Structure 1
Amino acid sequence: MKKLFFGMLFWVLSTSVFAFQTPSDSVFTLLRTKLEVESPTEKPSVSGNELGNSNLIHKFYANRNFASIWSQKGVLLELAYEMRFEIRQSKFDGLAPQDYHLALVDAYFQTFEANKTAKKANEPADLANLELLLTDAFFGLSEDLERGKVDPGSLKGDWEIERKAGSADYMKLLGDAVAANNIRKNLESLYPKFAIYKKGREVLRAMDERAKTDTLDWKPIKLEKSIKVGDSHTAIPALRERLNYWGYAKEYPLSDPKLYDSAMFLGVRAFQLRNGMEPDGVIGKNTALGLNASPTALREKAAVNLERLRWLPDTVQKLELILVNIANYQLDYVNKLDTLLSARVIVGKLYHESPVFTAQMSYIVFSPYWNIPPSIAKKEIIPAVRKNPNYLSQKNMDVVTFSGKQVNPASINWSAKSFPYMVRQKPGGSNSLGLVKFMFPNEHNVYIHDTPARSLFRKEDRAMSHGCIRVENPAKLAETLLRSDASWTSERIDMAMHQDSEVIVNLPRKIPVVLLYLTFWADSKGEAHFRQDIYDRDEEVLALLKK
Structure 2
Amino acid sequence: MYIKQVIKRYGILSLVFLATLQSCKKSRSDIGAVLFKETKNKVFKKVDSAAYYKVFSEMLATSKDSLSSPQLIENFYKQNNYEPYFIVNFVPKEQLRHLAERYSQASSHGLNPEYFHYSEIKTLTDKIYGKKNIKTKEEAYRDIARLELLTASSLISYSTTLQYGLVNPRKIFARYYMKTEKPDSSFYKKVFAITDLISFLDEVQPKDPSYIKLQEALNNNFVYAGLSPQETKKVIALNLERLRWKNKPATDRYVWVNIADYTLKYVEDGKTNLSMKVCVGKGPDQEPELADYDESEGAVRPHNHQTPQLNSEIYNVQVNPVWNIPESIAKGEIVDHVRKDQYYLANNNIDVYRNGKKVDNDNIDWSEISDGTYSFKQAPGDDNALGKIKFQFLNASNVYLHDTPAQAPFMLDVRAVSHGCVRLEKPLDFARALFGDGEKYNLVKKEVAESTPTSRDIALSEKVPIYLDYVTCFVDDNGQIQI
TM-score when scaled to structure 2?
A: 0.80
| 2:29 aligned residue (21, 24, 45) | 21
SS of the aligned residue for 2:103 comes to helix
Aligned identity (percent) is: 29
C-alpha separation between the residues in 2 aligned to 1:330 and 1:43? 52
User: Residue type of the partner of 2:214?
Assistant: G
User: Residue type of the partner of 1:415?
Assistant: S
| 2:367 aligned residue (407, 415, 423) | 415
Shift of the 301–205 alpha-carbon distance from structure 1 to 2, 3 Å rule, reads same
User: Residue type of the partner of 1:299?
Assistant: K
Matching residue of 1:196 = 210
C-alpha separation between the residues in 1 aligned to 2:306 and 2:49? 56
User: 1:274-309, CA deviations, whole angstroms, 9 ceiling, x for partnerless residues?
Assistant: xxxxxxxxxxxxxxxxx2x32222112111122222
C-alpha separation between the residues in 1 aligned to 2:90 and 2:433? 65
Matching residue of 2:300 = none
Matching residue of 2:120 = 104
Shift of the 477–168 alpha-carbon distance from structure 1 to 2, 3 Å rule, reads farther
| 2:277 aligned residue (322, 344, 350) | 344
User: 1:232-258, CA deviations, whole angstroms, 9 ceiling, x for partnerless residues?
Assistant: xxxxxxxxxxxxx76xxxxxxxxxxxx
| 2:57 aligned residue (36, 46, 49) | 36
User: 1:334-355, CA deviations, whole angstroms, 9 ceiling, x for partnerless residues?
Assistant: 2222211111111111131111
Residue pairs, 1:295-314, within 5 angstroms: 295-313=229-247
C-alpha separation between the residues in 1 aligned to 2:90 and 2:456? 76
SS of the aligned residue for 1:317 comes to coil
Q: Does residue 1 of structure 2 align to residue 4 of structure 1? A: no
Matching residue of 2:440 = 488
Contact 2:106 2:113 in 1 (8 A): yes
Q: How many residues align?
A: 438
C-alpha separation between the residues in 1 aligned to 2:474 and 2:90? 45
C-alpha separation between the residues in 2 aligned to 1:73 and 1:203? 36
Shift of the 312–514 alpha-carbon distance from structure 1 to 2, 3 Å rule, reads farther
Task: For residue 386 of structure 1, report the CA deviation from its aligned partner.
Answer: 2.0
Matching residue of 2:288 = none
User: Residue type of the partner of 1:340?
Assistant: N
Task: For residue 413 of structure 1, report the CA deviation from its aligned partner.
Answer: 2.9
SS of the aligned residue for 1:182 comes to helix
TM-score when scaled to structure 1?
A: 0.71
Q: Does residue 383 of structure 2 align to residue 425 of structure 1? A: no
Contact 1:365 1:439 in 2 (8 A): yes
Task: For residue 197 of structure 1, report the CA deviation from its aligned partner.
Answer: 2.5
User: Residue type of the partner of 2:400?
Assistant: Y
Cα RMSD over matched residues? 3.4
User: Residue type of the partner of 1:494?
Assistant: K
Matching residue of 1:177 = 194
C-alpha separation between the residues in 2 aligned to 1:461 and 1:336? 30
C-alpha separation between the residues in 2 aligned to 1:98 and 1:329? 36
SS of the aligned residue for 1:443 comes to coil
SS of the aligned residue for 1:331 comes to strand
C-alpha separation between the residues in 2 aligned to 1:43 and 1:200? 40
C-alpha separation between the residues in 2 aligned to 1:338 and 1:66? 52
| 2:455 aligned residue (502, 506, 518) | 502
Shift of the 120–387 alpha-carbon distance from structure 1 to 2, 3 Å rule, reads closer
Contact 2:26 2:80 in 1 (8 A): no
Task: For residue 35 of structure 1, report the CA deviation from its aligned partner.
Answer: 5.0
Matching residue of 2:329 = 376
C-alpha separation between the residues in 2 aligned to 1:77 and 1:496? 74
User: Residue type of the partner of 1:498?
Assistant: A
SS of the aligned residue for 1:362 comes to strand
C-alpha separation between the residues in 1 aligned to 2:459 and 2:432? 13
C-alpha separation between the residues in 1 aligned to 2:51 and 2:112? 29
Shift of the 363–463 alpha-carbon distance from structure 1 to 2, 3 Å rule, reads same
SS of the aligned residue for 2:429 comes to helix
Q: Does residue 7 of structure 2 align to residue 55 of structure 1? A: no
C-alpha separation between the residues in 2 aligned to 1:182 and 1:526? 29
| 1:294 aligned residue (219, 228, 244) | 228
Q: Does residue 134 of structure 2 align to residue 115 of structure 1? A: no
User: Residue type of the partner of 1:111?
Assistant: K
Matching residue of 1:152 = 169
Shift of the 381–64 alpha-carbon distance from structure 1 to 2, 3 Å rule, reads same
C-alpha separation between the residues in 1 aligned to 2:424 and 2:49? 64
| 1:436 aligned residue (385, 389, 407) | 389
C-alpha separation between the residues in 2 aligned to 1:23 and 1:92? 35
